């Protein structure tokens, strides 16, 4: 997943306009936050169940609702669903692709989002289903759950409040984000 998401950063090279560079930077930021939340959530599940087998999650949502919520929200950003930071990043990259006449990159962005959805829905789906495998479990400290959820909420807030981080990014872009003309 990370390789695919970071591959979008290379869209900035052929697109090379300010919108492409901004989209690439925003993708880097939103992906880092969302993936951090997902790894924290996965760590919580590993801590809870003592294993990392997705098919044996055994309705973990009942015991770790904040963790599963964090995973789902972060997954929405990775997929590029609104109102997440991932959506803003992919929208900027899509806009740059269309404006540069390279519309096929848009198809790749959309297909990548669908592939991300497939694996994210698979994990979340297993969190709601019953597994026949016996397992031990231990309580996850609530601070671990809240930390994962906080990171996932930041991934969503990057979409809801995108103008502020985008304005900060504009300062560091070539020519102050205004283009070379």
Number of domains in the chain: 1
> Would you say the pTM of this structure is higher than 0.75?
yes
Element (H, E) at 35: helix 18-49
Span 128-141, pLDDT tens digits: 877 766 667 889 99
- C-alpha–C-alpha distance, residues 122 and 124, integer Å: 6
In this structure, is residue 9 part of a structural domain?
A: yes
What average pLDDT does the segment 165-175 reach? 78
In this structure, is residue 13 part of a structural domain?
A: yes
Identify the band that residue 36 occupies on the pLDDT scale cut at 50, 70 and 90: very high
Q: Closest Cα to residue 106, out of 118, 92, 119?
A: 92
In this structure, is residue 180 part of a structural domain?
A: no
In this structure, is residue 181 part of a structural domain?
A: no
In this structure, is residue 22 part of a structural domain?
A: yes
The answer, yes or no, to whether residue 167 has pLDDT greater than 70, is yes
Instruction: Note the pLDDT of residue 180.
Output: 46
- C-alpha–C-alpha distance, residues 76 and 61, integer Å: 17
Domain that holds residue 153: 2-174
Q: Are 92 and 23 in contact (CB under 8 A)?
A: yes
In this structure, is residue 179 part of a structural domain?
A: no
In this structure, is residue 44 part of a structural domain?
A: yes
Q: How far are the Cα atoms of 1, 16, 88, 119 from residue 124, in angstroms, in the given order?
A: 16, 36, 23, 9
Q: Mean of the per-residue pLDDT values for the chain?
A: 85
In this structure, is residue 148 part of a structural domain?
A: yes
């Amino acid at each position: 997943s990370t390789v695919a998401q970071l591959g979008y950063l290379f869209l900035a090279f052929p697109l090379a306009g300010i919108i492409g560079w901004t989209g690439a930077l925003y993708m880097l930021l939103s992906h880092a936050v969302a993936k951090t939340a997902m790894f924290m959530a996965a760590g919580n599940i590993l801590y809870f169940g003592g294993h990392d087998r997705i098919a044996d999650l055994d309705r973990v949502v009942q015991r770790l609702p904040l963790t599963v919520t964090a995973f789902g929200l972060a997954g929405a950003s990775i997929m590029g669903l609104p109102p997440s930071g991932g959506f803003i990043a992919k929208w900027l990259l899509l806009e740059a692709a269309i404006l540069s006449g390279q519309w096929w990159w848009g198809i790749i962005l959309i297909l990548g989002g669908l592939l991300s959805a497939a694996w994210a829905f698979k994990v979340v789906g297993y969190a709601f289903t019953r597994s026949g495998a016996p397992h031990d479990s231990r309580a996850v400290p609530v601070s671990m759950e809240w930390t994962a959820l906080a990171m996932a909420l930041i991934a969503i807030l990057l979409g809801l409040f995108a103008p502020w981080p985008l304005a900060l990014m504009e300062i560091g872009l070539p020519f102050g984000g205004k283009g070379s003309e």
